[in-house]
Each structure stands twice: as C-alpha cells, then as structure tokens.
C-alpha cells in the first residue's frame, strides 16, 4: 500500500467549515414504484433509473465532488423475482459495454465494490476492463456497489485480518480502526460525508455501515428516476447548511470559525 493510499484512508471526517462533501453515497430507491405508478413493467423503471444515474454523475462531476458511491444492487436483492434479477444483470452488462467509454472520455474513474463471484463471467470481465481503462483518470471517482452488503464488508475485513495474523504478518495488538478500515472495500477513500436516499424510505439498508459512521443523512420523497441534477443540488445545499459536530460542543465549533 502506497503512502498516498495510507493518507487517504486515514483522512478524518470532513471538518466543520468546509462546504462541499468530499464523498457522497446514494441509495437509489423507487424504480419499481415509479414504473407501477405509470402502469409500466419494473424493468422500465430500472431503465428510467439509468437516466437518473447519468444526470447525477454529470452534476457530481460539475460540482467537484471527489467520490460518488452508488448502491446499485445489494446482496439482498437476489431475493427479488428471478425475471427482475435477470433483467437487472442485463442492464448492468449493457451499461458496462456502453457507458464506460463515456466515463473515460470525461476523466471519471470507475470502481465496482462487492462480491463479484456471483456475477456472470461476462460481467466480471467487463468490470475488470472498465476499472483498468479508467484507473489513471483523475476526475470524479465513481464507485458502484453491486452485490454489496455492509455486514459482508465488515466480516470480510475481519477475515482478512485474521488470515494475516495466522500467517504471522500482523500482531493482534496492531489491529486498530485504521488497520480495519484498510481491509474494507472503500479503505482508501475519504469517509462518506453525505448519504442520500430516494423514495421516502428512511433507513440505510445495510449500506456502507462502517463508512457512514459520521455521514449526514438526506432523505427525499422523490423516486429515483425523478432524481436529477437539480435534486442533487438541493441535497448538497442542505448538507452545506448543516453544522457537523463530531462530538464537539457549540463553543468548540464556534472557535473553529465554522
């Protein structure tokens, strides 16, 4: 692990007084409800959701957000109807084939986090190609969470640390928050400053449990296909009006000039 990676992963939560969030995470919810309200099939809702993804990526890049993490498919989503899951996998593959070059041309780096082993060999191949193509881009870092679960991430990190201890590569006393964080999927990224969830639901649904320890939460009744660049701006503006404490008192925050 490079020194640059180490410093990034150990970055503290965004301190008071800095306006824009460095890292925004979004739980994209409401595609099926959007489709049902229009008498359409669920897959039509997911296709409409792709347009919202494009709009939000574009606006996040314009606003100078460093990292945007999108919850595309949870480890629990395999329980959905087989036809819907199959259609989602087809959409994922189509997006990997058609959208990655556009991301690359705009300097966006793409990473996919989660357990890839359950995906088809074609999806796994295109994920690797996409990450390799965009690896050196220096613009927005777009992270797609697919077959991801926060508990899985934490258990996986614990397993890796245990294996290192077993191989005598690590002393148990050396395991602290930083060591643990390095083993997580987003170990090299800044902590999440803002988590947005669409569709009116007010929960985080096993998403980035460790990484959202100090995140500000923003819930909107908009269904995901209706969430556009303007809605993203509203979430960012709401974040900028909040006072983040990180355990400090009002007096301490005032002393920082926030």
| Residue 77 bears catalytic tag | yes
Which residues face 70 on adjacent strands? 26, 144
Residues in the chain: 258
Q: What angle do CA 60, 66, 67 make, to 5 degrees?
A: 80
Contact 192, 25 (CB under 8 A): yes
Contact 70, 143 (CB under 8 A): yes
Rounded Cα distance between 6 and 99, Å, is 31
Q: Which of 19, 77, 206, 250 is catalytic?
A: 77
176: tokens are 């602290």
Rounded Cα distance between 188 and 209, Å, is 16
Kindly report the number of other CB atoms within 10 A of residue 9's CB atom.
Answer: 18
Nearest to 57 by CA among 114, 102, 115: 102
| Active site residues per annotation | 29, 77
């Amino acid at each position: 692990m490079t020194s640059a990676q180490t410093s990034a992963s150990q970055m503290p939560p965004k301190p008071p007084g800095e306006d824009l969030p460095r890292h925004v995470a979004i739980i994209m919810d409401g595609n099926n409800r959007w489709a049902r309200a229009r008498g359409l099939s669920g897959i039509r809702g997911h296709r409409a959701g792709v347009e919202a993804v494009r709009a939000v990526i574009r606006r996040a890049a314009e606003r100078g957000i460093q990292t945007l993490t999108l919850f595309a498919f949870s480890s629990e989503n395999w329980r959905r109807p087989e036809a819907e899951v199959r259609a989602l996998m087809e959409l994922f593959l189509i997006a990997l084939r058609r959208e990655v070059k556009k991301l690359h041309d705009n300097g966006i780096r793409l990473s996919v986090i989660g357990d890839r082993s359950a995906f088809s060999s074609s999806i796994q191949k295109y994920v690797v190609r996409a990450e390799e193509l965009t690896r050196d881009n220096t613009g927005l870092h777009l992270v797609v969470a697919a077959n991801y679960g926060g508990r899985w991430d934490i258990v996986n990190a614990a397993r890796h640390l245990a294996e290192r201890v077993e191989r005598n590569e690590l002393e148990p006393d050396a395991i602290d928050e930083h060591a643990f964080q390095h083993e997580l999927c987003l170990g090299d990224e800044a902590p999440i400053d803002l988590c947005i969830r669409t569709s009116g639901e007010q929960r985080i649904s096993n998403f980035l449990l460790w990484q959202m320890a100090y995140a500000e939460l923003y819930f909107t009744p908009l269904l995901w296909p209706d969430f556009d660049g303007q809605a993203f701006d509203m979430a960012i503006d709401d974040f900028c009006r909040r006072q983040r404490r990180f355990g400090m008192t009002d007096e301490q925050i005032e002393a920082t000039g926030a």
